[in-house]
Amino acid sequence: MHLRRLSYKILILFFLSTTSIILEAFAPPLGVANHSASNIAPLFNSTILYQTNIYTPEFNLNTDSVIVPLKRAGHLFLIEATVEDQTGNLVFDSGANGLVLNSTYFRDHVRSSGSTPSGVTGSLGAVEQIAVNRLAFADLAYKNITADVTNLGHIENRRGIKILGLIGFSMMRKLEIVIDVRKNQLKLFKIDKAGKRLDNSRQEFKADHTQKIEGNSNILFIKGIISGKTLTFCLDTGCETNAICSDCNRSIMNTLTITRRSELVGAGRKGSEVLFGRMNDFTIGNKKIPNMETIITNLGALSESYGTKIDGMLGYDFLQQGIICINFVKRQFGIRFMKGEEK
């Protein structure tokens, strides 16, 4: 179910991190009428095992909660961290399953065997695993963990900042997770076996809309409505824009405004066309959220890797709409929408 997930995520993150640069060079005039798109979702010939361990961090200073500052590189969210003796940035990427490290900085570690996945733009490089003695950020520390290792140099080079790797929800699954991108904060709370916060000084999160988390994945899938139809979206903090699958129902596609197109050119020789547009009819709960930017592409391969049919991905534009709370123990997703100049 999760054999090719890491490879798919890396290619999509590569695509989204290069979009703004590629667009300037390849975008034709506006007014694209065709709602179909070439397949830019990853299609790999080989498979990899992707670690799904769930770890419990140690909190420093005898605290039961911590605020993790989020830095930004474009629309990517970064956490300043130390992995072994390396200090740099981890991309906060809820679409990844665990910890993925950049092979540039961990060449001397003993590695398990891996494979070499290939995508539509060429080989992504081998993916292997290493043992990590210590990972630390903010007032949290993880010890004796396993990480996948692959080449993330393309993300690092495009952003001009040191990228140690990616960190996903499985590293935080035993905590309550609150994402507040307006304040550039990630708040993490210790919880008991029932999912209740141990820090009694912190009020429980009050959401305007809640959903039950389905399945037992470390990837979060939530429901949204377009054109009266309920769709499944992957919540992905590593996506710099939303995405809609190009094989969605025609009535859904008719609600989108296509603004431009671009060609993705990567390590391979062939390019892939990408359509850009706006979501005009997205609703979650009773809240309609118009005018979110999206790409339109084939997400079939990503659905296969997740083991769940997804109709789209919700990234940066969606995260800007409010404060999000995720509690895997309670199996609950909640959002409190921003109201005006809310602080």
pLDDT for the residue numbered 1: 38
Burial 63-75 (b: 16+ CB within 10 A, else e): ebbbebebeebeb
Arch. (CATH architecture) of 32-46+210-337 = Beta Barrel (2.40)
pLDDT for the residue numbered 300: 87
Q: Where are the alpha helices (DSSP H) in the chain?
A: 5-26, 153-159, 250-253, 300-306, 316-319
pTM: 0.82
pLDDT for the residue numbered 61: 74
Q: % helix / strand / coil in the chain, to the nearest 5? A: 15, 40, 45
Q: Report the alpha-carbon distance of residue 43 to residue 259 in Å, rounded.
A: 26
pLDDT for the residue numbered 10: 54
Q: Give the Å distances, CA to CA, from 207 to 178, 189, 222, 288, 326.
A: 11, 16, 15, 16, 11
Phi-psi label, residue 76: left if phi above 0, alpha if psi -120 to 50, beta otherwise: beta
CA 132 to chain centroid, in Å, comes to 22
User: What digits encode the pLDDT tens for the residues 211-266?
Assistant: 999 877 888 999 999 999 999 999 999 988 899 999 999 999 999 999 998 765 44
Let me know if 30 is exposed, middle or buried by CB neighbors in 10 A (0-12, 13-18, 19+). Answer: exposed
Looking at the DSSP assignment, which residues form a beta bridge with residue 142? 135
Identify residue 234 by its one-letter amino acid code: C
Phi, psi of 316 (to 5 degrees): -55, -50
Residues with pLDDT less than 50, the chain: 1-4, 7, 17-51, 114-124, 265-270, 341-343
The domain defined by 58-204 folds into Cathepsin D, subunit A; domain 1 (2.40.70)
pLDDT for the residue numbered 340: 61
pLDDT for the residue numbered 52: 58
Tell me where in the chain the CATH 2.40.70.10 domain(s) lie. Answer: 32-46+210-337, 58-204
pLDDT for the residue numbered 25: 32
Query: Which of the 8 DSSP states describes residue 204?
Result: P
Nearest CA to 165 among 277, 86, 67, 281? 86
Pairing of strands 221-226, 282-284: antiparallel
pLDDT for the residue numbered 163: 95
pLDDT for the residue numbered 5: 54
pLDDT for the residue numbered 3: 37
